[in-house]
Amino acid sequence: MASTAAVPFWRAAGMTYITYSNICASLVRGCLKEPYKSEAASREKVHFTVSKWANGKPEKPTIRSDSPDQ
């Protein structure tokens, strides 16, 4: 299995299994033909804000979004 050999490498790069599987999934989705490709891409939109808390106060929220214009 090719993926087995890859494990130490993406772990060393600081990736979790989730990131790894997501990259794999988006690669597979990239193999789709149009119109299915753009349809699948619309299901890949990421948007949320995260703020860390320190000493009972929220720090400045960071926006995780793949469409920066929003």
Q: Which chain residues interact with other proteins by CB under 8 A?
A: 1, 4, 7, 16-19, 21-22, 25-26, 43-53, 55-58, 61, 63-64, 70
The residue (of 21 and 36) whose beta carbon lies closer to other proteins is 21
CA distances from 11 to 5, 6, 29, 51, 57 (A): 11, 9, 23, 25, 32
Least distance to other proteins, CB of residue 6, Å: 11
Nearest distance from C-beta of residue 48 to other proteins, angstroms: 5
Q: Which is nearer to other proteins, 1 or 31 (CB)?
A: 1
Residue 53 neighbours by CB under 8 Å, 6+ apart: 59
Q: Which amino acid is it at 10?
A: W
